[in-house]
Amino acid sequence: MRYSWRVALTAVLFDIDDTLFPTTRFAARARRCAVEAMTLAGLDIDADAAFAELEQVVAEFSSNYGHHFDKLVLRLADRLRPGVHPAIVVASGVCAYHATKEHIKAFPDAVRTLSALGRTDLKRGVLTNGLTVKQAEKLVRLGLKNAFSPGAIFISEEIGVAKPHPKIFLVACEALGTEPNETLYVGDHPKKDIDSAHEAGLVTCLRRGSGRHADKVGRHAPDIAVDSLEELLPILRDRFAVAFRA
């Protein structure tokens, strides 16, 4: 271990995607619903083939690109049924995708863990890559908008630095008034989360799971690894002397 178990933690920061809610599973379901709606609206192609093409678009342009469905229709322009306006097909996909958001839920263990951390003196926050409104929307839809300390939500777009650059962690620690070695970062990505937080001097916790980064291997072993976020609670209590109020 890089640190003493007697270190006094003052803050815990969480990644969002595949850490607080199953982003990979949601994205696959939402994109599937989108392409099914697009085929019904006038895209004359098997839904499986359309989904595979959409996944290629996402891989090429990144998940934060705002025009996945436009690109899909451009690629499949020769498969539009006669007389169908392409914008109707795109809009059908957009509507179906956003309708799926109504059903997203945080991991149950994340909700219970954040509730328990609310009974400590630890500062609780989020540090995530992504578009500001998109990531904030997730917290609102997940019912977690009030689960964190004031001023403790850090999103790469508004900071101007993104993981895996260690500087984003230092910016967050400075804003919170905490030292890196007194700050725990919890994420699912061995490289972007664990390696970069480690290099910034934070204590690291890997949430193991079945998300799209589960098979990646980082340069640095996490200080803590858990299958459920609730496994953190006794570690914080017993090894970091964090006091939990009744």
CATH no. for residue 113? Answer: 3.40.50.1000
Residues (pLDDT < 70) of the chain are: 1-6, 210-211
Distance CA 25, CA 229 (A): 18
Among 38, 73, 103, residue at a domain's last position: 103
Strands 11-14 and 183-187: parallel
CA distances from 134 to 66, 157, 189, 214 (A): 11, 10, 19, 23
| pLDDT attached to residue 1 | 47
Question: What does pLDDT average to over the chain?
Answer: 94
| pLDDT attached to residue 44 | 97
Q: 14 - beta bridge partners?
A: 126, 186
| pLDDT attached to residue 3 | 52
| pLDDT attached to residue 212 | 72
CA atoms 7, 13, 18, 21: torsion sign: positive
| pLDDT attached to residue 209 | 82
Residue 126, domain member (yes or no): yes
Among 103, 133, 163, residue at a domain's last position: 103
Assess whether 16 and 138 both reside in one domain.
yes
| pLDDT attached to residue 215 | 77
Q: Is the peptide bond before 164 cis (omega within 30 degrees of 0)?
A: yes
Residue 127, domain member (yes or no): yes
Distance CA 202, CA 194 (A): 9
Strand ranges (E), the chain: 11-14, 123-128, 153-155, 183-187, 203-207, 224-226
DSSP summary character for residue 17: B
CA distances from 5 to 100, 139, 203, 206, 236 (A): 43, 31, 11, 17, 10
Assess whether 45 and 64 both reside in one domain.
yes
Assess whether 202 and 147 both reside in one domain.
yes
Q: Considering only CA atoms, which of 173, 214, 172 is closest in space to residue 194?
A: 214
Distance CA 21, CA 38 (A): 27
Look at the chain and report how many structural domains it folds into.
2
**Tens of pLDDT along 33-76?**
999 999 999 999 999 999 999 999 999 999 889 899 999 999 99
Question: CA torsion 174→177→180→183, rounded to 10°?
Answer: -130
Range of the domain at 62: 25-103
With beta carbons less than 8 A apart as the criterion, state whether 235 and 12 touch: no
